[in-house]
Amino acid sequence: MSKQKTKGSSWEREVAKYLSNTYNESFIRNLSGSGSYVGGKNISRKSSLTAEQIRHTRGDIIVPESFNLLNCECKSYSKFPFNLLLSNECKQLEIWLNQLVTSGDDNSVNCLFMKITRVGKFIAVEKKYDWDLKNHTVYTSPNYNAWIISDMDIFFASNKNRLKYISEKKE
């Protein structure tokens, strides 16, 4: 396994453990292959899968049933062009958002977990929800609307319950 692949897998496990500890529920790394089985270039696979199969193969984290709408993608990189967030033309972030959004559906609560070496751990969530925000920036994607980008720990300190509420399966 390549060094980058190992680094990415390690971050996925770390995020799954973080969410498991935060919510006292079981979140696990998706082992269906490289990244999301149904996102990005693999979106055509959705047509032959049931809704339950899609739920268990989307994103990098398999979520418990009580978080049925949550869709997570994890990225661990050595560098990230934070300056391009100001221009709303961040190609790297657009690639990641594409992978995330295409693995879910219109009802998904999409979360992008980012670890940047020697910089920090961040989360990007869609701005359309009523988040309790402290330190954050807004990135307006030309393809996927507006996203809040925040330090991961700061975000969860204020939004743990809100994320669970909006991620619950609505009957």
Helix axes 3-23 and 152-167, enclosed angle (nearest 10):
60
- Which neighbouring-strand residues pair with 5? none
Q: How far is CA 163 from the centre of its chain?
A: 12
Position 112 scores a pLDDT of 97
Provide the token pair at 123. Answer: 């989360």
Position 71 scores a pLDDT of 95
Domain encompassing residue 40: 3-167
CB within 8 Å of 149: residues ≥ 6 apart: 85, 122, 123, 124, 136, 137, 138, 139
Position 55 scores a pLDDT of 64
Check the CA dihedral 14-122-132-107 and report its sign.
negative
Position 47 scores a pLDDT of 72
CB within 8 Å of 170: residues ≥ 6 apart: 69
- In whole angstroms, what is the distance from residue 108 CA to residue 100 CA? 10
Position 165 scores a pLDDT of 95
Q: How many domains does the chain have?
A: 1
Position 9 scores a pLDDT of 86
Tens-binned pLDDT, residue by residue, of the chain (171 aa): 677 777 778 999 999 999 999 999 999 998 865 555 666 666 677 677 676 666 667 789 999 989 999 999 999 999 999 988 888 789 999 999 999 998 888 899 999 999 999 999 999 999 999 899 988 999 999 999 999 999 999 999 999 999 999 999 665
The angle at the Cα of 74, spanning 73 to 77, to the nearest 5 degrees, equals 140
Position 36 scores a pLDDT of 58
